[in-house]
Amino acid sequence: MPVARPETSDARVIAHVDMDCFYVQVEQRKQPELRGLPTAVVQYNEWQGGALIAVSYEARSCGVKRSMRGEEAKAACPEIQLVQVPVARGKADLNTYRSAGSEVVGVVSILAQSGKCERASIDEVYLDLTDAAESMLADAPPESLESIDEEALKSHILGMSREDGDDFKESVRDWICRKDADRRDKLLGCGIIIVAELRKQVLKETEFSCSAGIAHNKARSYLFSKLASGMNKPAQQTVVPYAAVQELLSSLPIKKMKQLGGKLGTSLQTDLGIDTVGDLLQFSETKLQEHYGINTGTWLWNIARGISGEEVQGRLLPKSHGSGKTFPGPRALRSLSNVQHWLNQLSEELYERLSSDLEQNKRIASTLTLHASAFRSKDSDSHKKFPSKSCPLRYGVAKIQEDAFNLFQAALREYMGPFGPKPQGNKKETWRITGLSVSASKIVDIPSGTSSIMRYFQSQTTIPSCSASGFPQEHVAVTPSASESCSEQKSAETLPAMPEEDITVTYTSPDLDNSYRDIDIVLEKDASCQSNEAKEFPTQSGTQTKTIGRKINNSKEKNRGMPSIVDIFKNYNASPQAKEETQEDSTVSLTSNRGNLSSSTNHSSEVNQEVEDRRDTEWGYKVGEIDQSVFDELPYEIQRELRSFLRPNKRPNSGKSKSGDGSASSSIAHYFQPLKR
């Protein structure tokens, strides 16, 4: 639910910069011969030429829309150039677009200099330009400038008519240079000049054009830049003067308002008969609070008046990473082995992104979440949502794969009910999965100077072969679990949009409370999981591994017989017996094991016990036995935690967070949990 924040009293200048037909521009930069031609980026599949996910403005003027499929687009615009999204692991590979987005954010943040810069999605950025605008107003106000750049003079100023043709630029100049304007609009005038220059520089440095909205606060900027720049794109900018706010809000459809596109907006329409944001004005704050609670009520009252205290966050990196895929219609997944196959692919992609985040930005994520959409055959309860599940995130692709699958099974058990598939006439009730995604969130910076632990994470990238691990049987009997350490999230809030029929890449940009999330979804050409070859994972670095080895060896020469931390964890994770464990039994249950999800197998309870016993011994190192030089490199917080693990025979804590959802655990214990396979 949205939360009201007090609006800061000072006038601010906030800009929202949005790239034009972004994926198309990325492709056109790669193939300059496509520039100026009607072009669309398509996620190819056999059905009607695949789904369009980005359309150039030339193609839009021929009637091509993003909702179309390739064949429809060709019918509407025979000369259209369709460029396919690269494919990796049987799904769309958006890395090129993500990198291009990061490049843009980098350039914008440098150009914005002292201003705060917040990455809002793959191709959108917020900028707080208040300081820059204030400096300009103090040192070189627009009216003192000899000339104002053409790009600034082409700005759209809401509330100002453009019918005067050539005189229009003069009107814009007058508006920017008005001496009697109120301070807020004077600052906006400076913002117009700053943003016009910034957009020109972005074009020069990245070859991408962008549009922008400029307003007094983030909400207005958000609202109106999205709305108005949609009308004035590409390569233009739109300004929302203070006087234009109320008029625009009064006619803005309620569902267009950020955070009101979903259930809350629908409730406002049906329960209060509200059609536009302006209609909200007739309700008192108390009335809105009665209906929607104190916070949301106040938030609604504020947005009806264009009030928002939301600050631009200084954040250039995503708040979470995700990888997903839809399986519509006949491609719906119907066996655990298929689900596991795809979860392995998605987990690989997720881990690739986590690894590069760790390497490039020194950040680690701590929560893994599984979302899915599903339906049941002969469903009497067809509206039941497939629950989302989370657990602490363990680094290592095989661990993520394992946890994702365990989360899925826990969710499936809940979805199917306590007694598993029920007989329906002669047939057993079965399930179908139409969308899967895994995401990593709660990303934090790791303290600087922790090179050993980083190398440790980077060495955790072995990928087991799917076929080697052996898939569980199809349609397993799902049994209720005695204890689950996973948390539950309301799927309505967290499940990314997964179109049931059409297959598009969905991209959920962040809103006030939700995390940033990229979801790449593509219809596969071949949804079968016959090919289970092990895949090489690219981030394992021999050099890095050698570095660790050398370091350990050197230390060992000094402290002969003294095991290093890295050795201990390596042994702990790579114990051959643990690796050889396979899930052969079709009954899968979740057990809490040191705070992490694990699958237990019926046949191997004795083996498990043996493995557990051995691990207990391995945890029995004393702090004094550890290579101090390696230990010292760890951040203090981690050192402290390790000390508690390393007391003789002391087990790591259960990992269950106090909040009960397991996801808020501050412990790093989960990073070191072993594979259960």
Would you tell me which residues interact with ligand DCP (CB under 6 A)? Answer: 18-23, 53-54, 122-123, 233-234, 504-507
Whose CA is closest to 481, among 540, 406, 382, 397?
406
Do residues 480 and 418 touch, judged by C-beta distance below 8 A? yes
> Which segments within 262-387 are labelled E, that is strand?
321-326, 363-376
Residue with tokens 């981690």: 638
| Cβ count near 649 (within 10 Å) | 8
Please report how close the Cβ of residue 56 comes to ligand DCP at its closest, in angstroms: 9
Please report how close the Cβ of residue 517 comes to ligand DCP at its closest, in angstroms: 13
Please report how close the Cβ of residue 23 comes to ligand DCP at its closest, in angstroms: 4
Residue 149 corresponds to which tokens in the numbers above?
Answer: 């750049």
Paired strand residues for 127: 15, 117
Q: Among all residues, whose Cβ is closest to ligand DCP?
A: 505
Burial (CB count <10 Å: 0-12, 13-18, 19+), residue 316: middle
Catalytic hit among 27, 124, 151, 348: 124
Whose CA is closest to 46, among 523, 643, 608?
523
Do residues 340 and 346 touch, judged by C-beta distance below 8 A? no
Whose CA is closest to 193, among 249, 143, 119?
143
Please report how close the Cβ of residue 192 comes to ligand DCP at its closest, in angstroms: 20
Residue 394 backbone dihedrals phi, psi, to 5 degrees: -105, 135
Do residues 1 and 206 touch, judged by C-beta distance below 8 A? no
**517-518/507-508 β-pairing:** antiparallel
Whose CA is closest to 654, among 401, 483, 439?
483
Please report how close the Cβ of residue 24 comes to ligand DCP at its closest, in angstroms: 6
Please report how close the Cβ of residue 256 comes to ligand DCP at its closest, in angstroms: 14
Question: Which CB, 22 or 126, lies closer to ligand DCP?
Answer: 22
Please report how close the Cβ of residue 529 comes to ligand DCP at its closest, in angstroms: 25
Please report how close the Cβ of residue 551 comes to ligand DCP at its closest, in angstroms: 43
- Classify each residue of 221-246 as buried b or exposed e, where b means 16 or more C-beta atoms within 10 Å of its C-beta: bbbbbbbbbeebbbbbbbbbbbebbe
Give the three-state DSSP class for 592: strand
Please report how close the Cβ of residue 212 comes to ligand DCP at its closest, in angstroms: 12
501-505 — which CB contacts under 8 Å span 24+ positions? 501/328, 501/329, 502/51, 502/67, 502/69, 502/328, 503/43, 503/45, 503/47, 503/50, 503/51, 503/326, 503/328, 504/43, 504/51, 504/53, 504/66, 505/43, 505/53, 505/85, 505/92, 505/94
Question: Which CB, 326 or 573, lies closer to ligand DCP?
Answer: 326
* Rounded (10°) angle between helices 167-177 and 183-206: 120
Question: Which CB, 55 or 249, lies closer to ligand DCP?
Answer: 55
Q: What angle do CA 435, 441, 445 make, to 5 degrees?
A: 155
> Which segments within 483-553 are labelled E, that is strand?
487-489, 507-508, 517-518
Question: Which CB, 159 or 499, lies closer to ligand DCP?
Answer: 499
**87-88/91-92 β-pairing:** antiparallel
**39-43/81-84 β-pairing:** parallel
Question: Which CB, 508 or 559, lies closer to ligand DCP?
Answer: 508
Residue 412 corresponds to which tokens in the numbers above?
Answer: 């499936």
Question: Which CB, 7 or 103, lies closer to ligand DCP?
Answer: 103
Cα gap 666→650, rounded to integer Å: 19
- Start-to-end Cα distance in the chain: 40
Q: Is 493 a catalytic residue?
A: no
Question: Which CB, 234 or 635, lies closer to ligand DCP?
Answer: 234
Question: Which CB, 104 or 372, lies closer to ligand DCP?
Answer: 104
Residue 19 backbone dihedrals phi, psi, to 5 degrees: -65, 150
Question: Which CB, 233 or 579, lies closer to ligand DCP?
Answer: 233
Please report how close the Cβ of residue 649 comes to ligand DCP at its closest, in angstroms: 52
Do residues 280 and 264 touch, judged by C-beta distance below 8 A? no
Question: Which CB, 133 or 495, lies closer to ligand DCP?
Answer: 495
Give the three-state DSSP class for 52: strand
Q: Catalytic residue positions?
A: 124
